[in-house]
Chain A
Amino acid sequence: MESELEIIKVFTFTFFAFIAMALVLILFFYYSRKKIVAQQLETKNLEIAHQKQMLQTVIQTQETERERIARDLHDGISSKLNVVSLNSHLLKTPNLSVAEIEDITNNINDLTSKALENSRQIAHDLFPPVFDKFGLKAGIEELIVEFKSTNKFEVSFSNELNLDLLTKEQQLNFFRIIQELLNNTLKYAQAKKVSIKFMRLSKFNALIYKDDGIGFKNSNVKKGMGLTNIESRVSFLKANYLIKTSPNNGFEINITF
């Protein structure tokens, strides 16, 4: 009888002990789930915020680009055509001497050819014809020639890939990325040497861009429009990128695709 009572006592105790311990685990799972869901939500929100920011940058870039084109058109073409129109009106003035007519026509000629040259330049800046006709490699080579002519830095370019396999759109994105990178180097880096490489890695293709300029602090860099543009282009390419830079140690970006 006593042993039976003892069994019941021990049994009850064991039972409640286990319920208590199981409860701890159940609560743990319940709260963990909650925490994980909250975490996922936060990550998603961050992602959305990031995308919004990228979109904003794209729009902003578009606006600045429009402004620049408007200014170029205004300064390079409209103003010249204005003078041309003025001059052609002058030609209507009666009793002009031959020398005066000659002078005015020369002026008109001069201005129209300048306006023509400017419009060609604007079109070229917007979309390089070489790129259009001969593809990415030729486009990059031309770009390099242009940047070399600033006499600020040396540029070396090597390519192990068949870039023609890329779609036109991908080629354009790469072209713009390189253009932006070269622009950044020119504006901020004070670099002496720049190297651009397209190479085949074991599993991926890679674009490696390096300069030996002043670099910047990567950890707390507030992305300017240039970098955000590059980032959005990289994401269009469905590629990944990695930036290696620190003050006085140059700048390197690896884009794998």
Chain B
Amino acid sequence: MIKLVSEIFADIGYLLLLINCILLGKNILKKAKPYKVFFAYNLTMFIIQMTSKVLFTLKMNNLFLSHFYFVFQFLLLSYFYYVLLEVQFQRKIIRIALPTTLLLLSIHYAIEPELFFAFNLFEVFISTLPIVVFAVFHLYNLLNKEHYFYYTTIGLLIYLYGSTFLFLSYDLIMIVGDKQTGKYTWFFNICLYVVYQLFILKDLLKQRKNGIRT
């Protein structure tokens, strides 16, 4: 039952992601740089998720794709906020955090290369925390300004907080519980993803209504 509901939700999530990609991609060349980067992010996520779905259907191991997912999410969202943020101090933090994180991840994989085919807690955390910080920077900057990528950032924060909790607890559940319990984690994660996509959609529709910055 939970599996079926999860799959339906997952498909809704993919559909929303596709809609967001289309909305973002329309006239993309004329749009401001943050839109371009955000479009690249959404498109990459869409491709990774579709590949993962295909591999899953073919009953192949798709766990290694999660690394691409997290690393690309980290890279593209870092760049997205780098373009979006205007305060020099914050941009400097991104400039420092980005290579540091990549370096840490490389060291980690160099020490334990077998983790590449497993689910990596350290990777989840280290690639999420900087994004959370950058997103919070953006919210802070928006305090006295017109909302720009506001809902996207809020949705992202909800998703990152929720999904990090789920990913981290997944390992615990897998040790203590059984596979069936793990499905709940998966279900909640899917729900969060749908919420995140809805937030992005709201932002895009709002910007469409108000005229997009070019």
Contacts and interface: CB of A to CB of B under 8 A. Distances in A.
Interface of A: 3, 6-7, 10-11, 13-14, 17-18, 20-21, 24-25, 27-28, 31-32, 35-36, 39
A35 B140 contact: yes
B125 A11 contact: no
Interface string B9-44: 000000000000000000000000000000000000
Nearest to B137: A28
A6 B175 contact: yes
B165 interface: yes
A21 B172 contact: no
Given A3-B175, A17-B164, A17-B168, A36 B129 contact: no
B136 A13 contact: no
Given A24-B132, A32-B143, 20 more contacts: A3-B175, A6-B175, A10-B168, A10-B171, A10-B175, A11-B172, A13-B122, A13-B125, A14-B168, A17-B164, A18-B168, A21-B128, A21-B129, A21-B161, A28-B136, A32-B139, A35-B140, A35-B144, A39-B143, A39-B144
Contact of A14 (B133, B144, B172): B172
Contact of A18 (B139, B165, B176): B165
A35 to B, nearest CB: 6
Nearest to B171: A10
A17 B172 contact: no
A17 B140 CA distance: 22
Interface in B128-169: 128-129, 132-133, 136, 139-140, 143-144, 161, 164-165, 168-169
Contacts of A35: 140, 143-144
Contacts of A18: 165, 168
A3 B125 CA distance: 22
A47 B24 CA distance: 42
A96 to B, nearest CB: 85
B175 A7 contact: yes
Interface residues of B, number: 21
B140 A14 contact: no
B185 to A, nearest CB: 13
B139 A28 contact: yes
A25 B154 CA distance: 12
Contacts of A36: 143-144
A6 B140 CA distance: 38
A31 to B, nearest CB: 6
A249 to B, nearest CB: 24
B140 A28 contact: yes
B143 A10 contact: no
A18 B125 CA distance: 9
A13 B171 CA distance: 11
A7 B176 contact: yes
9 contacts: A10-B171, A13-B125, A13-B168, A17-B129, A20-B129, A21-B129, A24-B133, A27-B136, A32-B139
Nearest to A39: B144
Given A6-B175, A10-B171, A17 B136 contact: no
Contacts of B168: 10, 13-14, 17-18
B158 to A, nearest CB: 12
A173 to B, nearest CB: 34
B97 interface: no
B121 interface: yes
Contacts of B140: 28, 31-32, 35
